[in-house]
Amino acid sequence: MDTHSQSPTFFDVENSVDVVNARMSAATDPRLREIMTAVVKHLHALVREVSLTPEEWFKAIRFLTEVGHTCTEWRQEFILLSDTLGVSMLVDSINQHRPEGSTENSVLGPFYLPGAPRYPMGTNICLDGLGEPVVVSGRVTDSRGEPVAGALLDVWQTNDNGFYDVQQKGIQPEWNLRGVFETGADGRYWFRSAKPRYYPIPDDGPVGGMLKAMGRHPYRPAHLHFIISAPGYDTVVTQIFAPDCPYLEEDAVFGVKQSLVGDFRHENDPKEAARLEVANPFWTVEWNVILAPTTAA
Ligand code: BEZ
Ligand code: FE
């Protein structure tokens, strides 16, 4: 009796996706099934499209191994890889369901530190005295323009040499250019700082090597980071960008959006500078935040 009347299906180039995906158990979580089916489909398509050689695949595996080995408590090279390939911003963008006009997100980046000092309004967070002064102010409102009282603005940025305090421990004062401000009943906030400058993302690891091999620079345009939170509203992780920065349209991690380009103004007004207790000339930027109600999970 012929027990092999139907020949078995072995893996080949034409059926590779179906053969691999057919191995998945019927009990697989449906969302995991959907994602893994697509991973296999697109990975196999990529291999076929570029006719990947064994040497190239081993090079890719060595690269990913190095990315893993570069990760420490302070260095997350896989996030850098995701950021520089535009995946972080894409994942964020397709999951943004806030009403039109609400303040948009940007990348968090690896340099956020929870627990920054809470300061009274107007405090100067630039503790190393470097750079040009900037006065940052604005209002936090809901979409009807009503002020949001008690909103927390957690702010951080690089110093004038393009480094975060955590990258220069022992060189910069602790908590340099970081602080948390709370809006009052009018929803307003203001603080003093130094005008941000462009800087390179950490590029001494495999992701930096990848950028170099692709002829890409590692620079992020000058920006200030914010996390804005208030009870009942969606937390916004975002940045404001300086419009005069040469890298504005070339962010290494694709975090710039038109709505996040700040209206930085250069002021030469000794009287106003004295009133604000900053050196003249100085910069101002007024940036308003519109929060959306918390979205149901
Ligand atoms: C940042 O803006 O701090 C940042 C974002 C993504 C990667 C590296 C740094
Ligand atoms: Fe940054």
Structural domains for the chain: 3-52 (no CATH), 77-296 (2.60.130.10)
Q: For the residues 10-37, what does the mean pLDDT come to?
A: 96
Residue 205 near residue 70 (C-beta atoms within 8 A): yes
What's the mean pLDDT in 202-223?
97
Structure token digits, residue 26: 């019927």
pLDDT score, position 273: 96
Band of pLDDT at residue 96, cut at 50, 70 and 90: confident
| Mutate-to-test residue for ligand 1 from 154, 167, 198, 201, highest number of ligand atoms within 8 A of CB | 201
Question: What pLDDT does residue 4 have?
Answer: 56
Question: How far, in whole angstroms, is CA 46 from its chain's centroid?
Answer: 27
Going from the Cα of 65 to the center of ligand 1, the distance in angstroms, rounded, reads 22
Q: Which ligand is nearest to the CA of 202?
A: 1
Distance of CA 10 to the CA centre of its chain: 44
Residues contacting 243, CB < 8 A, separation 6+: 261, 262, 263, 264
pLDDT at residue number 269: 96
Model confidence at 48: pLDDT above 80? yes
Q: In the chain, where do the E strands start and end?
A: 133-141, 152-156, 178-182, 188-194, 199-200, 219-220, 223-229, 236-241, 264-267, 282-286, 289-290
Q: How far is CA 159 from CA 35, 148, 164, 199, in A?
A: 41, 30, 6, 10
pLDDT 10s digits, 251-296: 999 999 999 999 999 999 999 999 999 999 999 999 999 999 997 5
* Closest residue CA from atom 3 of ligand 1: 109
pLDDT at 12: 94
C-beta of 110 in contact with ligand 1 (< 6 A): yes
Mean pLDDT of the region 237-243? 97
Residue 222 Cβ < 6 Å to ligand 1: no
Identify whether the C-beta of residue 236 lies closer than 8 Å to the C-beta of residue 297. no
Centroid of ligand 1 to alpha carbon of 190 (angstroms): 24
Q: How far apart are CA 210 and CA 47, in angstroms?
A: 19
Average pLDDT of the chain to the nearest whole number = 95
CA of 1 to the centre of ligand 2 (A): 71
Instruction: Tell me which of 295 and 239 has the higher pLDDT.
Output: 239
Dihedral sign of CA atoms 54, 55, 60, 63 in order: positive
Q: What pLDDT score was predicted for residue 162?
A: 93
Lowest mean pLDDT among 122-126, 167-171, 227-231: 167-171
Determine how β-strand 133-141 pairs with β-strand 199-200.
unpaired
Q: Identify the pLDDT of residue 8.
A: 75
Distance 214 CA to ligand 2 centre (A): 22
Could you tell me the pLDDT band of residue 57, with boundaries at 50, 70 and 90? very high
5 or 215, greater pLDDT? 215
Residues 6+ apart with CB under 8 A from 119: 125, 179, 180, 181, 191
Give the β-pairing of 133-141 and 282-286.
Answer: parallel
Give pLDDT, residue 297: 46
**What is the residue with the minimal CA distance to atom 1 of ligand 1?**
109
Residue closest via CA to ligand 1's atom 5 equals 109
What percent of the chain clears pLDDT 90, i.e. is strictly above it?
92
Read off the pLDDT band of 97 (50, 70, 90). Answer: confident
pLDDT top residue among 282 and 73: 282
CA 80–ligand 1 middle distance (angstroms): 8
pLDDT at residue number 73:
83
Question: Which residues lie closer than 8 Å to 227 by C-beta, 6 or more apart?
Answer: 108, 112, 152, 153, 154, 235, 236, 237, 238
Confidence at 144, pLDDT banded by 50, 70, 90: very high
d(CA 273, CA 281): 7
Q: Closest ligand to 158 CA?
A: 2
Average pLDDT over residues 38-57: 98
> Per residue in 190-204, pLDDT tens?
999 999 999 999 999
Give me the mean pLDDT over the 74-91 stretch: 94
* Sign of the CA dihedral with 203 first, then 207, 213, and 215 last: negative
